[in-house]
Structure 1
């Protein structure tokens, strides 16, 4: 066991502050990683403030961070997938039983045995809970360590293993391809990745936003059209024309308006999680055979596929790089939507805190 510098919250009302945390020595299938960049996800804030309640109570102290990119510094005796010096990534998962039905079909994210990168019970007994990527280094089972294409900017790679795969997985599941018409609802951390993926797959991409000010940026990122969803005429012009719509918005909104835009047997997938009750008319689904579904990140194999796709198409997240000492301000800005479109922490700055 060894100790590293990290940033942690010690209570739901505490700011993130420096803390020394323990890490296990690498076991025979483990990879030890020096963390270079770590993305900031909105779920980090929810966990730090214990906002998931009894469904997922926070174990304090908590070290957030599940969008990790780093360099391999040590490997266990039986590791075969990675070598010292490799640039790798770690997303939301660090372990799961390989024999469960979900794991056998590469859907580890739905496994009842999954271990989250932070705030899960630590089966190794190193600490009360797993500690995430706001730290100097991390030790992870090689099965959950991902290869990073060498041509990509590492600060922009970090959010790919959460925001990226969350958008990519349903887009691939529903077979988005050249010639299809695809809608992306919301231009944030998830939405801007959805636009990039759908455009790269050859789809005609329409971005839905409540803000006309986002039109120019949406077109820059790759949207072919922008619809202001508060404008009923603009919405009506697209009724019954979409093959697939990815909804990334977590604020309450009327899903029936978007279901009406799908052509027969089209699909609307939710990845933006709202705590509010969702009201959907049965008629919105029945007439036209439309479907409504949800999606949670992606499995490890699919996440690797996504990274390889990003390498082939030179796709990264649009990020603002910050120092570790700026994290509390970044949380405040993230809650206001004041970032285009993800914060990425330069973890070398942790040494100066």
Structure 2
């Protein structure tokens, strides 16, 4: 297979800054499209992979899985796209396509493991890992490429490909519709999208936050109310209220107080934290109210396209701060301090 050199930004080790490097991309295969990357969102997963916080990172690592660009080449068997089309790539670039999950358009739960946009074994190039969107171009099978609504701001659309679908998928799965009572825990990159999307579906939306400083921000994003989770009187006032809680907090925290605010048959869905919960889960309110604690990760390609189309109809995008590629290390530092409203997006012209 012939390869091409591409300029990128990545890291050689977990304790090293990201810097400019050259990576190899495959030449376009029959079912591939090549995308000139215009914008790439910055996700907490990028930072965790660069610093090997979850273990398993292979270096050099080039993060980035919120990719928006323009198609510059198509393979001879491509039918869904043409040169010049706007295109997006999210967290996956392939899957086995044969297991029960893949057959149900749930590639994110591929039983043989989906191919992540970065740091996954490459199904095309032996002994190499995939490289993400902190680069000039990417080559992806057309089945894992998304159509971008033309009415949306391209930079602000990039985070929809991870933060957007991560919150849209549970809202859809748990049947949020007009009048549903939805709460969101945490107002970061995921949380602010959960508020916007739930509101777009017609739900009554409440934000749980530990910070009174977030009240105005939440209301500006469309929340109907804010509950300060450290105020006992406010938590008591919403006991038994919610149909669904989207918990976006990215670190270990006690979820028992939130379970008390679920109504009968309500569900709390964890989308932000991966790992062990140290606080014991009290099952009494769950059993006595048929309440559930669940988890969810991104969405399949079909559902991600549905989410983009929904956002196109409703005019929903992410709140972003645009940065240059060369400022990524500073951006990572700011992310660790939650100093961004609410998502960094890299203008990839800066890499050129």
Shorter-chain TM-score range: over 0.9
**Equivalents in 2 of 1:264, 1:114: separation in Å?**
35
State the match for 2:22 in structure 1: 20
Could you tell me whether the CA contact under 8 Å between 2:252 and 2:273 is conserved in 1? no
**Residue 240, structure 1, aligned to residue 245, structure 2:** no
**What RMSD, in angstroms, separates the aligned Cα atoms of the two structures?**
1.0
Secondary structure in 2 aligned to 1:22?
strand
Which residues in structure 2 correspond to 1:205-216 (within 5 Å)? Answer: 205-216=205-216
Secondary structure in 1 aligned to 2:189?
coil
**Residue 47, structure 1, aligned to residue 39, structure 2:** no
**Equivalents in 1 of 2:271, 2:220: separation in Å?**
23
**Residue 262, structure 1, aligned to residue 262, structure 2:** yes
State the match for 2:169 in structure 1: 169
Q: Structure 1 residues 268-277 or 26-35, which shifts more?
A: 268-277
Secondary structure in 1 aligned to 2:289?
coil
**Equivalents in 1 of 2:257, 2:172: separation in Å?**
24
- Deviation track 1:239-296 (CA, whole Å, cap 9, x = no partner) reads 0111111110122222111111111101111101143425211112101101110001
**Equivalents in 2 of 1:254, 1:125: separation in Å?**
43
Could you tell me whether the CA contact under 8 Å between 1:23 and 1:126 is conserved in 2? no
**Equivalents in 1 of 2:225, 2:114: separation in Å?**
39
**Equivalents in 2 of 1:75, 1:121: separation in Å?**
23
Secondary structure in 2 aligned to 1:254?
coil
State the match for 1:62 in structure 2: 61
Uncovered stretches (5+) of structure 2, i.e. residues with no partner: none
**Equivalents in 2 of 1:315, 1:126: separation in Å?**
40
- Deviation track 1:156-188 (CA, whole Å, cap 9, x = no partner) reads 111101000000000000011111211000000
State the match for 2:330 in structure 1: 329
**Equivalents in 1 of 2:292, 2:170: separation in Å?**
13
State the match for 2:100 in structure 1: 101
Which residues in structure 2 correspond to 1:1-353 (within 5 Å)? Answer: 1-53=3-55, 57-111=56-110, 112-125=112-125, 128-278=128-278, 279-351=280-352
State the 1:113 CA deviation.
3.5
**Equivalents in 2 of 1:320, 1:132: separation in Å?**
20
Could you tell me whether the CA contact under 8 Å between 1:38 and 1:346 is conserved in 2? yes
TM-score (ref. length: structure 2): 0.97
Secondary structure in 2 aligned to 1:190?
helix
**Equivalents in 2 of 1:204, 1:23: separation in Å?**
46
Could you tell me whether the CA contact under 8 Å between 1:24 and 1:126 is conserved in 2? no
State the 1:126 CA deviation.
6.7
TM-score (ref. length: structure 1): 0.97
The aligned length equals 348
**Equivalents in 1 of 2:62, 2:86: separation in Å?**
22
State the 1:345 CA deviation.
0.2
Q: Which runs of 4+ in 1 moved over 4 A?
A: none
Q: Structure 1 residues 151-160 or 275-284, which shifts more?
A: 275-284
**Equivalents in 2 of 1:196, 1:343: separation in Å?**
18
Q: Structure 1 residues 328-337 or 275-284, which shifts more?
A: 275-284
- Deviation track 1:179-208 (CA, whole Å, cap 9, x = no partner) reads 121100000000000000111111110001
